[in-house]
Amino acid sequence: MNQRRYKQSQSRTQGMLLPPSIEEYVSEDNPVRAIDVYAESLDLEALGFQHAGGNLSPGQPAYPPVAMLKLYLYGYLNRVRSSRRLEKETQRNLEVIWLLRGLKPSYKTIADFRKDNPGAIKAVNTDFLALCQELGLFGGALVGIDGSFFRANASKSSIYTQKRIQTALENLEMQIEAYLQAMDQLDQQEGQGEGDKQLLQEQLEALMARQAKQQKRKKKLAQSGEKQLSEVDADARLFSKSGQVVAGYNIQIAVDEKHKLLAVCEVTNDSNDVGQLAPMAQKAQEFLGSQHLQVVADTGYFNPQHLKDCLATGITPYVPQPDRYKAARRQGRFSREDFTYHPEQDCYVCPAGQVLRRNRTYTMTGRLLYGYASQAAVCAPCAFKTKCLPKKTRYRQISRWEHEQIVSDHNQRMAQAGAEKLALRAALAEHPFGTLKHRCGWTHFLLRGKHKVRAEMALLMLGYNLTRVLNILGMEFFNTYCRMRARKCAQKAQSGSQFQRNSAVFLFFAAMWGHFAFGLKSNFVLARSAR
């Protein structure tokens, strides 16, 4: 009976005459080559990286910033973000050994590079977005906007709300009162319980110290004007969604429709998305340079004022309006939509035919509103009173925004094309968040503070876009373009240097001629005065 043979491995002790080089271990289509070419094409000094210009102090030679940048690009592309894990990769990963040409920085050096260069890292992401624009990879016709909570490098227990502080103070006050009463009882028992009294005194002092700490937090929170106080990451906030509480940031993205590339990414600490539509849409419009941009977002972004702001800058929003009257309709009551507005008479008509006329003008949350009311005498005998008015309410009131027609036009636009646009939004904005969180390790950011978190988010965004660009263009085209782009930048810099040298020569001869001319004029003046 014939038996299949296994492949034979090499002996670990056998010598090799011509061992393969590291170059042979990295295939031509390996993404690490794209990282290498792109990083080498950058002017790191112009981007703002520390020590990129070679101005180094005496002592141990520093690691080149381009090598550290390559390491981080590789790490965020392959779910290796920790500086300690990156240090291990430099010692055992052939791709990283090839990328860094054998350099092995310590985890402290790796961590300091990311910590000390947040602005420059964001500039690299901006440069890559400019590269994508040069290649025509952004369509600029439609973008999908969405937000998601990412965990911060801080625990939920390190973030204090006013309610939490107040509850803690009340509990501490009750405990302190109980200890004081216990000590009074011991004082009444002369010569007894001295040891217990000493223990109670120590515990009371500890409680009072905790009370003072909470009072200090309360004062600091009041002075900050914020609703939450975070002691570990000052910019992190507590968010609640679907019964789950997250300590982190609200990440906003705008995804271009053409190739599903991330056009804009913003780190916020707002608890919801209601104030993000216009800022994100306008940032996307500014970046894409589009005069007629369409923006699609989910219900959480609906904001009448933001609809107006978007339309004012040429942006057409598609955002479904939340149904705020679902509960009323479920109870068989009339909602606001059951009242018809007549612009000619500037009034509302109820289902029973009664007219609600404007009776006041007021401002709420920065918006000018008009109030309309019915007549109590007419509502009292109405057959629909139980469906229209709550108990103890004598007449119906309705408010209308001064630009309510914008909302009406928006709802009509949504009725015509809203379903199609919302289907595009799901395909555009939900997949990137899944990928970003997967590469983030489903855990949290490693840096603290909004400025540094934005740098880390820029690395995640760059890694996502780089992966898509390589899939769209191919490795060979991308590398060729990066080399050509680097040559153009070098030629431009060289021509600028030549221009500066020529200008310096011109200024030198101009100064000499001015000095010579001044001498001639002085001699001429002296000669005339001598006559």
- Contact between 261 and 255 (Cβ < 8 Å): yes
Q: Outline where 315-384 has alpha helix (H).
A: 326-330, 376-379
| Of 58-72, 290-304, 499-513, highest mean pLDDT | 290-304
d(CA 62, CA 374): 78
Report the largest interatomic distance among the alpha carbons of the chain, rounded to a whole angstrom: 130
Among the residues of 382-474, which ranges form H helices? 385-388, 404-439, 450-473
pLDDT of residue 366: 85
Which position has the token pair 């005498």? Answer: 377
Q: Which pLDDT band, with edges at 50, 70 and 90, does 238 fall under?
A: very high
Higher pLDDT, 455 or 17: 455
Compare 263 and 192 and report the one with higher pLDDT: 263
What angle do the packed helices 304-312 and 277-288 form, to 10 degrees? 20
107, with CB counted inside 10 A (0-12, 13-18, 19+), is middle
**Lowest-confidence region among 61-75, 170-184, 244-258, 484-498:** 484-498
Query: Shortest CA distance to 309 belongs to which of 277, 262, 348, 344?
Result: 277
Digit-coded pLDDT (tens) for 191-222: 555 667 788 888 889 999 999 999 999 999 99
Average pLDDT along the chain: 87
Q: How confident is the model over 64-76, as a mean pLDDT?
A: 95
User: What pLDDT was estimated at residue 191?
Assistant: 56
pLDDT-based confidence at residue 1 (cuts at 50, 70, 90): low
The answer, yes or no, to whether residue 251 has pLDDT greater than 60, is yes
Residues 333-373: pLDDT tens digits? 898 889 999 999 999 999 999 999 999 999 998 889 999 99
Q: Provide the 8-state DSSP code for 251.
A: E
What residues contact residue 47 under an 8 Å CB cut-off, 6+ apart? 120, 123, 124, 127
Q: How far apart are CA 185 and CA 109, in angstroms?
A: 61
Does residue 190 register a pLDDT over 80?
A: no
Kindly state the average pLDDT of the residues 133-137: 94
What's the confidence (pLDDT) of residue 18?
72
Where do the domains of the chain lie?
22-116, 156-187+194-230, 326-401
With a CB cutoff of 8 Å and minimum separation 6, the contacts of 398 are 336, 339, 348, 356, 371, 372, 373
Is the whole model's pTM more than 0.85, yes or no? no
**Burial class of residue 48, CB neighbours in 10 A (0-12, 13-18, 19+):** middle
pLDDT (0 to 100) of residue 2 = 67
pLDDT digits (tens, 9 = 90+) for 384-423: 998 998 888 899 999 999 999 999 999 999 999 989 999 9
Reported as a single tens digit per residue, the pLDDT across 475-523 is 999 999 999 998 888 887 676 555 455 554 444 454 454 444 445 444 4
* Type of residue numbered 302: F
Mean pLDDT of 304-324: 93
